Structure 1
Amino acid sequence: MVSTAAPSRPVSLGSRLGYAVGSFCTGNFTTIPGLLLLYYMTNTLAVPAALAGTVLFLPKAWDLILNPLVGRWSDRTSSRWGPRRPWLLAGAAVLPVSFALMFAGPPLTGVGASVYVGVTFLVAATGFALYEVPYKAMPAEMTRDYHERTSLLQWRMIFIAIAIGMSGILAPILADESVDGYRLMGITFASIFLLAMLASFFGTARAPFTGQQQSKGTLRAQLAAARGSKPFMWLLGLSSAQTLASGVLLAGAPYFAAYTLGDPDATSTLFAALVGPMLITMHPWTWVSRRLDKRGAMLLSGGLFTAGAVLLAAAPAFGSLYAHLVVMVMGIGYAGLQILQFSMLADVIAYDGAVSGERRGGVLTGLWTAVESAVAALGATLYGWVLAAGGFVSSDPEHPVSQPESAHVAIVVGLSLVPAVITLAGVLMTLKYDLTPARLAAATAGTAPGTTDGNGVETDAGPSTGTTAAPGAPASPES
């Protein structure tokens, strides 16, 4: 006989906020390089657009190797702080300093500047992987409830929305398109990263832990198992499409503001239009996901984002107000895409743990973040290639240039039609995702591990039924 899974106790408000505050780091770091680094290299350091786009992508290729390793290491970690939290501190020791150095380099331009930015970006990406991979694995281990995960992640999405607003509004203001401004921006946000990373470490000390026993197979076997998981692979595919579209959008925003709307400061207001809806639609999207299930809500949010991207192509004819209203529509869709994909990832991790009886959420999130990071950087690379194809001419502040008409066309096409096509592909992939609440419940019904806090102290054990645990399930969860 196999015992029936015990319901999870709700995650406390303190643990929710303690976890969510870490998104001040993840939201800002994933946004700022995509938003400003390409523009910084082409318009401040005089790096050719195609080279700058390539430099942005190459450090992320390292993530394809590093992130699964970090996930594997965190899966196999045993400590009094639990398996994930020590890695939050490791990331905090590397990321903030290297991020500040990205924008505080020696007086180089052209190829030399691109090499310096590429190296410091590589180190920053390493620090981010040490933090982000374990951080993303934590929600699946805080609760076993299908809809509780969406509710838990509402707080994370609120903090992400605030972080994206900071990135899109405050970062360009601080940067001010000058060398000194970019240095100030780098130091300011490096400090924010450090505070957020430490706050998430201490804030999750009492968070519940419902994870499985340590995985015992090799990394190659774990990655093979991930590739064999149909729900995970389809979710990874549709999320990659959304991330690629967002990466293109982020990279193109400063160019769109400066050259299409004629107002470089509009980068900040465009991001306010994008993230404003995120702050007020998180709860409605949770409600929609309960009514339509997560897949139906994902289709709706992806459709809104795609429609908005198509409509944005008409911005040169209708002006700035029209562009901002369309971006607000995209923001509503973007909010749904964000909260739903991470809630679905937590479901997939829980499903894999229930089926395998092992803790390998780190491997799954490692593979996820590796692909996500590479795809996000590829968005900036893709936009750089679109600019190059349109004949965009790079410059520095002392030597401004006039762009050809083809470059103006490329700026708009790259920001609107390219993301629309990519997001539509993600919508179509969503139709293949088939991890329903009933399927997840059937898989998890065979195990009933107790619940521990972040330090491994049991707080919510399942009821005693006199039956034995499922084969491979631990008698009590490990910290």
Structure 2
Amino acid sequence: MTTALPRRRLLGYGVGSVGTGVFSAVPGLLLLYYLTDVLGVSAAVAGAVLVVPKAWDVLLNPIVGAASDREAVRTGRRTRLLLLGAGTLPFLFAAMFAVPADSPGLAAAWAGVAFLLAASAFACFQVPYVALPAEISADPSERGRAMAWRVVCLTLGILVAGGVAPALTDAAGGGRAGYALMGGVIGLVMGTAMVASTLANRWIASRPGPRPLGLAAALRTARGNRPFFMLLGAYVSHTLAVAIMLAGAPYVAAYRLDDYGLTSAMFVCMVGPSAFAVPLWRRLARRYGLVGCYVAALVLFCAATVALFPLITSPVGVLLLSALIGVCYAAVQLLPLSLLPETVHADTGRTGHAQSGAFTGLWTAAETGALALGPGIFALILAASSFSSSDFETPVVQPDSALTGMSAGFTFAPAALLLLSVPLLLAYRRLAALHRRPEEAQEHAV
């Protein structure tokens, strides 16, 4: 019988997600707005600044995953890569929001290079960190407990990103000084959480074996796991939807609700309920199944997003629907991350390898790409709808086409992507049954 993991170890793992939640959310939430409305960078160029560094990360993450597995085979731990990422990311994050140049072109170049380096440091932490749940316990229920703690801590990180970061910027007067202060403070919080988690997780033994694989061999090993790729497709689709909404939130607050400060309120209303919804979704999943609850959450999330469009100028309506979205957001974080370790474990019998780093390298690469592409898509929507960029001292009045574009981009575009996740998830359920041992597949069908 497997011993239950003590809470201190669950917290030690989960606290790392405070840092990952911050970095996943803040650039998507604030960097595009910082470039277009503080530094005067055009929407198209600003979108490229956000997409290009993350495109590099899509290539880097599988390499980091294979390197993490090789380190684990040699040393039995994934600590060195975790420490490398946790130790360097805070400084690079602060540099993203401390642009010294006055020229929009130079400002875009500085922010782009800093973001590329920060994204690379994040990959060094994120990829081995996501691999740990598959190794934290041999008991699926204990792995599920670890994921619940992770999602709660992830929620706290997103609260810091969406609630504290814009408030810090406003408190320092906005503009360059406000964003520079925010970058330094939030970077410190993020780094503290990630270093603490790295040190707390040294007890986890990583034995991917039986031998270290190079990148090409690791990808060949992962390629036959069709359920994994269906689950990944569903996760990427709704992550892209969330990324678009993250990028659009400051614009909706500033131009549709006429109060940039409501950016923080929108995120508090969304993320606050999601923390309390995690145990609710765990209970529902035990009763009705992970996939069934996942599909229900996606459909409800989509309905709430569409309902935002006619209420986009009503602060009360936007905040109430943000709270409902937060309940759904808890599910679309908890449930796929609970399915991921089990999908990796189920593949071990087929390949003879438990290369969790290879799978998480692919997973985080796709997630990173989606988080980067979201602001890029929203920037394209702004550009297509004739949005006018400005600097902080000389704001401009936006045309009606831009207001309509940002409203539709914040609601209808994410809703379509949320719906796209549903057939992919149903395909995952069918393939996962076939992927199990024959007797398990027969039991699942019954």
Query: Could you tell me the TM-score, scaled by structure 1's length?
Result: 0.87
Task: Tell me what 1:89 maps to.
Answer: 83
Task: Tell me what 1:3 maps to.
Answer: none
Given that residues 212 and 353 in structure 1 are in contact (C-alpha distance below 8 angstroms), is that contact kept between their aligned partners in structure 2?
no
Q: Give structure 1 stretches of 5+ with no counterpart.
A: 1-6, 446-479
What are the residue-to-residue correspondences of 1:189-338 with 2, within 5 Å?
Answer: 189-207=186-204, 209=205, 211-316=207-312, 319-338=314-333
Shift of 1:442: 4.7
Task: Tell me what 1:123 maps to.
Answer: 117
**Counterpart-to-counterpart distance in 2, 1:210 and 1:56:** 34
Given that residues 144 and 350 in structure 1 are in contact (C-alpha distance below 8 angstroms), is that contact kept between their aligned partners in structure 2?
no
**Counterpart-to-counterpart distance in 2, 1:191 and 1:227:** 38
Task: Tell me what 1:140 maps to.
Answer: 134
Task: Tell me what 2:350 maps to.
Answer: 355
Which SS does the other structure have where 2:3 is aligned? coil
Q: Which digits, 9 at most, give the CA deviation of each residue in 1:245-300, with x for residues without a partner?
A: 01000000000011111111110110011111111111110111111211111101
Q: Which digits, 9 at most, give the CA deviation of each residue in 1:155-193, with x for residues without a partner?
A: 111111111111111100112231111011111111112
Shift of 1:108: 2.6
User: Which structure: greater helix fraction?
Assistant: 2
How many residues are treated as equivalent by the alignment?
437
Code of the residue aligned with 1:26 in structure 2: it is T
**Counterpart-to-counterpart distance in 2, 1:262 and 1:321:** 13
Alpha-carbon RMSD across the aligned residues, in angstroms, is 2.0
Given that residues 270 and 323 in structure 2 are in contact (C-alpha distance below 8 angstroms), is that contact kept between their aligned partners in structure 1?
yes
Percent identity over the alignment is 40
Task: Tell me what 1:46 maps to.
Answer: 40
What are the residue-to-residue correspondences of 1:105-124 with 2, within 5 Å?
Answer: 105-124=99-118
Task: Tell me what 2:406 maps to.
Answer: 411
**Counterpart-to-counterpart distance in 1, 2:86 and 2:181:** 20
**Counterpart-to-counterpart distance in 2, 1:181 and 1:231:** 45
The change in CA–CA distance for 1:40 and 1:215 in structure 2 (over 3 A counts) is farther
Code of the residue aligned with 1:267 in structure 2: it is T
Deviates more, 1:276-285 or 1:118-127: 276-285
Task: Tell me what 1:183 maps to.
Answer: 180
Given that residues 38 and 56 in structure 1 are in contact (C-alpha distance below 8 angstroms), is that contact kept between their aligned partners in structure 2?
yes
Code of the residue aligned with 1:51 in structure 2: it is V
The equivalent position to 1:344 in structure 2, one of 339, 346, 360, is 339
The equivalent position to 2:388 in structure 1, one of 372, 393, 407, is 393
Deviates more, 1:245-254 or 1:65-74: 65-74
Shift of 1:83: 2.7
**Counterpart-to-counterpart distance in 1, 2:438 and 2:337:** 20
Shift of 1:346: 1.2
Which SS does the other structure have where 2:146 is aligned? helix
Given that residues 89 and 121 in structure 2 are in contact (C-alpha distance below 8 angstroms), is that contact kept between their aligned partners in structure 1?
yes
Shift of 1:437: 9.0
Q: Give structure 2 stretches of 5+ with no counterpart.
A: 441-446
Q: Which digits, 9 at most, give the CA deviation of each residue in 1:205-263, with x for residues without a partner?
A: 334x4744244443223213323211110011000001100100000000001111111
Shift of 1:443: 9.2
Matched, 1:36 2:33: no
Task: Tell me what 1:21 maps to.
Answer: 15
**Counterpart-to-counterpart distance in 2, 1:113 and 1:131:** 27
**Counterpart-to-counterpart distance in 1, 2:138 and 2:13:** 17
Which SS does the other structure have where 2:370 is aligned? helix
Query: Could you tell me the TM-score, scaled by structure 2's length?
Result: 0.94
Task: Tell me what 1:62 maps to.
Answer: 56
Task: Tell me what 2:71 maps to.
Answer: 77
Task: Tell me what 1:473 maps to.
Answer: none
Larger-gyration structure (1/2): 1
Deviates more, 1:99-108 or 1:401-410: 99-108
Task: Tell me what 2:377 maps to.
Answer: 382
Given that residues 241 and 423 in structure 1 are in contact (C-alpha distance below 8 angstroms), is that contact kept between their aligned partners in structure 2?
yes
Task: Tell me what 2:443 maps to.
Answer: none
Shift of 1:435: 7.4
Q: Which digits, 9 at most, give the CA deviation of each residue in 1:12-31, with x for residues without a partner?
A: 21111000010111000000
Shift of 1:43: 0.3
Deviates more, 1:164-173 or 1:427-436: 427-436
The change in CA–CA distance for 1:443 and 1:39 in structure 2 (over 3 A counts) is farther
**Counterpart-to-counterpart distance in 1, 2:285 and 2:390:** 47
